[in-house]
Amino acid sequence: MEISRNLWKLILIAALILGAASFYKFQFISTSFNDSNGSQPVSTNFNEYRNADFKFSFQYPKNLTLQEFDDERGHVILFEASGKTSDVESPKTSDVEELAGFQIFIAPFDEEGPITPERIKKDLLNIVVENPTPTKVGPSTGSGQADALSFVGEG
C-alpha cells in the first residue's frame, strides 16, 4: 500500500510513550559482530519490528511484548514490558518506575500544516504531551517521508 504524503501524514504518537524514558534505559545492549564482514553489529537483546503496510522497521528490547490492532481512529502498535514494571528505571527521574513501554498510533491526517501537540489534543482530549519532537517517518530520504510527532505522554 503506497502511502500518499497528502493522504497520510503519519501521526506517530510514537510514542504515547508510557515509558519512552524506560526505552532509553534498556542500555544493556550486547552486540556481537558478524564474522562475514566484521563491521555489522548484531543486537542480541533486541527484536526487529517490521510494518510492510507503512514501510518502516526498528529494533525494540526483547523484554517488550508486541500487540497490534485497529481501533475506531487508527492503527495501534503497542509495546509493553513483560516483567515487573517496578524494575524499570528512568535515566531522568525516579518517579517513572511505572512506565514500561511505548505506543505508536497511525491515523489518516490530511490537514495542512504541521502535527502539533495542540492538534493532537483536539482528537485526544485527556492526553498529556511532554517533550514533543517533530520527526520524519518512512524512507531515510526522498518523497516517501511523512511528518510525525514523537513525545512522552500519558492518557
pLDDT of residue 43: 67
pLDDT of residue 69: 94
Q: H or E stretch including 78?
A: strand 75-81
User: For the chain, what is the total number of helices (H) and then of strands (E)?
Assistant: 2, 9
The tens place of each residue's pLDDT in the chain, 155 residues long, gives 444 443 334 333 333 333 343 344 343 333 333 333 444 455 688 999 998 888 788 888 888 999 999 988 889 999 988 654 444 444 444 444 455 788 888 888 778 878 889 988 887 788 888 999 998 877 777 677 778 888 887 76
Amino acid at 20: A
Of 114, 123, 113, which Cα lies nearest the Cα of 153?
123
Domain limits, the chain: 20-154
